[in-house]
């Protein structure tokens, strides 16, 4: 992987991690377009640069992460279902990650769901429950919603946001809770990959990881701030249309016999 490729991948990660469009699918497509060989380091790189995205949330919402044990406990309770289900079906998830067709159809179906969501939950544009009004049962349900994103292409952000809307949260609060829940979720995956990478990391890889995290951090800050404003004004439908377009593109490439190195 070259420095330019690392920068582009990190840009894609920072841009798509918190949008309801699936960072996994975009990383697959971006890697294919740049002809990047998916060796063990590249796979680890794509996970570890999530650290930059995590710090973006902590910086943008630093006041929310000041010592607030009730908030932390609800966040932890919401994280538990993802951790438990992820551990239980990790082998199945790895199999699904090897199927670009699963990603493609997840994009299309997810796009249709977002378009439906935009209409069905229109009344929750600026009215609805806030994060501090959630109970522990709500936190568990949001964690279960996030778990659906273990299907590649679903989008962790979209699954959590829709779960929040189903619980009566307004768009902004649901989106922000998806950001908060990303912190323990992505941190766990990053630490796991980071520990594995330490066993075989090369000196030449370190600067790529540093550059990748810095780029992902800066882009994620911009993406978070822009997304909240766009969501309040335009809703989800344009993300839905975009997902369908990318899903169809994947299917066309598969039909043409393109092989994705996963």
Confidence of residue 76 (pLDDT cuts 50, 70, 90): very high
What is the per-residue pLDDT for 41?
86
Phi, psi of 160 (to 5 degrees): -70, -40
- Reference 162, options 202, 124, 210, 213; nearest CA is 124
Residue 75 lies in a domain: yes
- Alpha carbon 41 to chain centroid, angstroms: 20
Is residue 147 very low, low, confident or very high in pLDDT (cuts 50, 70, 90)?
very high
Q: How do residues 152-189 score in pLDDT, each as one tens digit?
A: 899 999 999 999 999 999 999 999 999 999 999 999 88
| Average pLDDT, integer, range 89-103 | 82
Q: What are 205-253's pLDDT values in tens digits? A: 889 999 999 999 999 999 999 999 898 888 899 999 999 999 999 999 9
Cα–Cα distance between 160 and 154 in angstroms, integer? Answer: 11
Range with lowest mean pLDDT among 25-39, 136-150, 171-185: 25-39
Residue 168: inside a domain, yes or no? yes
pTM across the whole model: 0.91
Determine, yes or no, domain membership for 260: no
Residue predicted with more confidence, 126 or 134: 134
11: tokens are 């840009």
Assess if residue 149 is contained within a domain: yes
Nearest alpha-carbon partner for 166 in 141, 131, 136: 141
Band (144; pLDDT cuts 50, 70, 90): very high
Distances (CA, A) of 76 to 39, 82, 114, 189: 33, 10, 27, 15
Judge whether 151 lies within some domain. yes
| Position with higher pLDDT, 25 vs 78 | 78
Q: What integer pLDDT is reported at residue 141 of this predicted model?
A: 96
Residue 141 lies in a domain: yes
Contacts of 238 (CB under 8 A, 6+ apart): none
- pLDDT higher for 111 or 100? 111
* CA–centroid distance for 157 within its chain: 5
SS3 content of the chain, % helix, strand, coil (to 5): 80, 0, 20
Full domain range(s) for residue 64? 3-255
The β-bridge partners of 129 are 169
* Domains in the chain, number: 1
């Amino acid at each position: 992987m070259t420095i330019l490729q690392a920068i582009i991948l990190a840009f894609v990660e920072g841009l798509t991690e918190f949008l309801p469009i699936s960072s996994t699918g975009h990383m697959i497509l971006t890697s294919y377009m740049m002809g990047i060989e998916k060796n063990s380091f590249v796979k680890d790189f794509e996970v570890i640069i999530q650290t930059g995205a995590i710090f973006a949330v902590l910086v943008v919402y630093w006041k929310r992460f000041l010592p607030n044990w009730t908030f932390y406990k609800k966040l932890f309770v919401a994280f538990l279902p993802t951790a438990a289900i992820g551990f239980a079906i990790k082998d199945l998830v790895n199999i699904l990650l090897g199927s670009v067709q699963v990603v493609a159809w997840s994009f299309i179906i997810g796009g249709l769901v977002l378009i439906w969501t935009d209409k069905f939950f229109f009344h929750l544009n600026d009215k609805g429950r806030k994060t501090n009004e959630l109970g522990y049962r709500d936190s568990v349900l949001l964690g279960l919603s996030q778990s659906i994103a273990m299907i590649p292409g679903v989008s962790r952000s979209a699954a959590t946001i829709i779960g929040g809307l189903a619980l009566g949260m307004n768009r902004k609060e649901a989106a922000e809770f998806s950001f908060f829940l990303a912190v323990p979720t992505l941190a766990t995956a990053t630490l796991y990959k980071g520990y594995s990478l330490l066993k075989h990391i090369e000196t030449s890889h370190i600067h790529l990881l540093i550059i990748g995290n810095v780029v992902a951090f800066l882009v994620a800050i911009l993406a978070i701030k822009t997304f909240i404003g766009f969501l309040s004004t335009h809703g989800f439908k344009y993300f839905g249309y975009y997902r369908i377009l990318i899903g169809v593109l994947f299917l066309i490439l598969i039909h043409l016999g393109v092989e994705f190195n996963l």
